Amino acid sequence: MSEENELIAQLNSDKRSVKIQAIVKLTRAGKGEKAIMALLPYLASDDRELSFFANQAAGKIAERAKINLSELSGQNLSAAVSPPTTSTVVLNRETFLGASKEQATALLETIRNNP
């Protein structure tokens, strides 16, 4: 069994710490679509820490494998991650890291209104 498959299997653990550790390790060991698909249920998790690490891992794996994460995850996930609001801000890794001053206000408003 490959390291990636072992880490994906660990995502089914009942222990939160094991899940987080597996997600963090998947950031390095994940090679493609299979790893991202395993992370999808955690991207919109109610657990903020789990969701944060899953989003980071999925973003880095997708970047490395040159996969469009939004196409892979489909419309259901994007609706779950960012419920429809009046603003057109899409919450993802690139939005947070590359936000301009004009976008910062909209980002803060979205974050405050959608806990």
Domain range for 101 is: 82-115
What confidence score (pLDDT) does residue 73 get? 65
Question: DSSP letter at 82?
Answer: S
What confidence score (pLDDT) does residue 97 get? 74
| CA neighbor of 61 nearest in space, from 31, 97, 18, 81 | 31
> Mind listing the pLDDT tens digit for each residue in 65-89?
888 777 766 644 444 444 434 445 5
What confidence score (pLDDT) does residue 98 get? 75
Instruction: Looking at the structure, tell me whether residues 55 and 100 fall in a common domain.
Output: no
Number of independent structural domains in the chain = 2
Residue pair 93/59 in contact by the 8 Å Cβ criterion: yes
Residue pair 91/59 in contact by the 8 Å Cβ criterion: no
Instruction: Looking at the structure, tell me whether residues 105 and 69 fall in a common domain.
Output: no
Instruction: Looking at the structure, tell me whether residues 44 and 95 fall in a common domain.
Output: no
Three-state DSSP at 81 gives: helix
Instruction: Looking at the structure, tell me whether residues 76 and 87 fall in a common domain.
Output: no
What confidence score (pLDDT) does residue 114 get? 74
Neighbours of 80 (CB within 10 A): 13
Instruction: Looking at the structure, tell me whether residues 100 and 58 fall in a common domain.
Output: no
Taking the whole predicted model, whether its pTM rises above 0.85 is answered as no
pLDDT classification of 20: cutoffs 50, 70, 90:
very high
Instruction: Looking at the structure, tell me whether residues 8 and 56 fall in a common domain.
Output: yes
Longest dimension (CA), the chain: 48
Instruction: Looking at the structure, tell me whether residues 94 and 114 fall in a common domain.
Output: yes
Query: Residue 25 belongs to a domain with what CATH number?
Result: 1.25.10.10
Q: For a pLDDT cut of 70, what percent of the chain falls above it?
A: 80
